Amino acid sequence: MRKLGRNEPCWCGSGKKYKACHCAFDNKLEGYFYQGALVPPREIIKNQEQIQAIRDSAKINIAVLDYVSRNIRAGITTEQIDRWVYEKTTQCGAIPAPLHYEGFPKSVCTSINEEVCHGIPSDHVVLKEGDIINVDVSTNYKGYFSDSSRMFCIGQVSPEKKRLVDITKESIQVGLEQVKPWGFLGDMGQAIHDFARKNGYSVVREIGGHGIGLEFHEEPWVSYVSKKGTEMMMVPGMIFTIEPMINMGTDEIFVDRENGWTIYTADAMPSAQWEIQVLVTEEGYEILSY
Ligand code: MF3
Ligand code: CO
């Protein structure tokens, strides 16, 4: 990395002089680097202007999920959810990020019961009493990305499924408590994994969260079975998702052979997922979308 002069403009694009911006940050990070920490690349450190633009995107993301929350019920199809997400997102001047993303055919992921994630909305899938469903909304507003997902219980669901949904939601809070600058993503990953296991559940290993903001999926890849003190260091200006997939039975999964997208649990037991998007701040964290 080229050393910047103290009076040169900062590499983050803030327009401020380096000495008044990321100079102290770089010195601190360099110290950790020489101690062997995996430090984040500059491309994923956001400046204040970018953070504000991502907050604006996240507001739309939340509004779309709120709309789904108010309207989801037994008897509708997942195709209907897709239409709501497309319409609400575009009405706000944004684009649903999943649409045509690496060939994904729809505007949202809808994953029911034993579907772990990346369920594809369809005319043929009707929500019925007792289902649990994850609705995963990702938003591109003026080129800035946000991503979050929620679980919905359709009518009366079994106590076992309800508990899975609730514990998975609680696991996000448990993970969040570990999010602070100069800590490690593994601190968060292990906290979630330990919490899920303590409650009798398993955590999906192969699929994780991701950095986000300037792209839909950025570095780092975020595991929820990682170990304390490992993985990338969390630093102010970093944005990533916390989105563990927690299974009632085995952690083993497989991919739908026909559509190439949808992930299922190997034992057909239910899986739940909640997703939030967080910014690491000087003090701790800020939740951008949920
Ligand atoms: N929100 C999902 C994720 O980050 C989106 C997956 S890509 C899609 O994992 F094309 F399936 F939407
Ligand atoms: Co995501």
Position in ligand 1 atom list of the atom nearest CA 212: 4
What pLDDT does residue 2 have?
Answer: 72
Atom 3 (ligand 1): residue with closest C-alpha? 209
- Report the Cα 55 to chain-centroid distance in Å: 14
pLDDT, tens digit (0-9, with 9 covering 90-100), for 108-144: 999 999 999 999 999 999 999 999 999 999 999 999 9
- Quote the pLDDT of residue 15: 96
Q: Which residues of 130-153 are buried (b: 16+ CB within 10 A; e: fewer)?
A: ebbbbbbbbbbbeebbbbbbbbbb
Give, in degrees to the nearest 5, the angle at Cα 285 between 133 and 164.
Answer: 25
pLDDT for 189 equals: 98
Report pLDDT for 288.
Answer: 98
* Ligand 1 binding pocket includes 211 (Cβ within 6 Å): no
The structure tokens listed for 226 are 């990682």
The whole-number pLDDT of residue 1 equals: 67
Predicted local distance difference test score (pLDDT) of residue 113:
98
96 Cβ closer than 6 Å to some ligand 1 atom = no
Q: Within the chain, which residues score under 70 in pLDDT?
A: 1
Cβ contact 112:273 at 8 Å? no
Residue closest via CA to ligand 1's atom 2 equals 136
Stretch (H or E) spanning 32: helix 23-34
pTM score of the predicted model: 0.97
Q: How far is the CA of 42 from the centre of ligand 1 (A)?
A: 24
Of 128, 129, 130, 132, the closest CA to residue 119 belongs to 132
Q: What is the pLDDT of residues 191-225, one digit of tens each?
A: 999 999 999 999 999 999 999 999 999 999 999 99
Q: Is the CB of 247 under 6 A from ligand 1?
A: no
The helix/strand/coil state of 144 is strand
State which of 104, 146, 204 you would mutate to test the pocket of ligand 1, scoring each by most atoms of that ligand within 8 A of its C-beta.
104
